[in-house]
Structure 1
């Protein structure tokens, strides 16, 4: 059921289905429940379900087959656990360091190419 959190219902549904895909509850090639079934499960209208399906299709997690249904895209595997905040901070620190080094290299290149005052 969609909760009244201020987050749009279609995004809550997309989050739930995405989690099921990522954890393997919905395996590659598996059919998603019908729009009517998802509407009943989440207690929402068909248009809300269709918006959630559209989000997942845009993300490349699912594919639709006219007249057959919507399926988890082949090649989608269960993802490893989400990175921790410390891992993300480490990655950001590495990116900052790399950007600083690139900035220094650009300054040196500009000095070599543009000798003299600007």
Structure 2
């Protein structure tokens, strides 16, 4: 793949070429390799890979969680127009806030359980 990405006749930015390659590998629910792994595989900077993943995120094709990875979204077949970038980002923020809230509650429950067991 690195040779295809560095084709001098292809005038698209490298991050766009990587995004296209990742888009072609779409597997609903599948996990993308890490940015450092993709960067090493294709001989580009991690920031270039992150820019490519941002393109896919903007299109609503992937979702990322810090420490968990980046996954292709499971998208139902539909004729509806894709959501706008701002709508996708708002929904992602809402999901991440709910996840943070859930993790906070879980930590509080674990702490209360641990302190109850210590008594």
Alignment TM-score, normalising by the size of structure 1: 0.57
Aligned to 1:46: 46
Match of 2:20 in 1: 15
**Quick one: higher RCO (CA 8 Å, sep 6+), 1 or 2?**
1
Instruction: Give the corresponding residue for 2:68.
Output: 68
Aligned-residue offset at 1:6? 2.4
Give CA-to-partner distance per residue, 1:35-83, whole Å, 9 cap, x none: 1110011110001000000000000000001210000002267xxxxxx
CA distance 1:34–1:7, change in 2 (3 Å) = same
Do residues 55 (structure 1) and 60 (structure 2) align? no
Task: Give the equivalent residue in structure 2 for 1:30.
Answer: 30
The number of residues matched between the two structures is 72
CA distance in 2, matches of 1:32, 1:76: 19
Instruction: List structure 1 segments (4+ residues) > 4 angstroms apart after TM superposition.
Output: none
Pairwise CA RMSD of aligned residues?
Answer: 1.4
Unmatched runs of 5 consecutive residues or more in structure 1? 22-26, 78-118
| Distance in 1 between residues matched to 2:64 and 2:48, nearest whole Å | 17
**Bigger radius of gyration, 1 or 2?**
1
Give the secondary-structure state (helix, strand or coil) at the position aligned to 1:70.
strand
Structure 2: state its 5+ residue gaps.
78-119
Residues of 2 paired with 1:58 and 1:76: CA distance? 17
TM-score scaled by structure 2?
0.56
The DSSP-based 3-state class of the residue aligned with 2:64 is: strand
Partner Cα distance (1:61, 1:40) in 2: 23
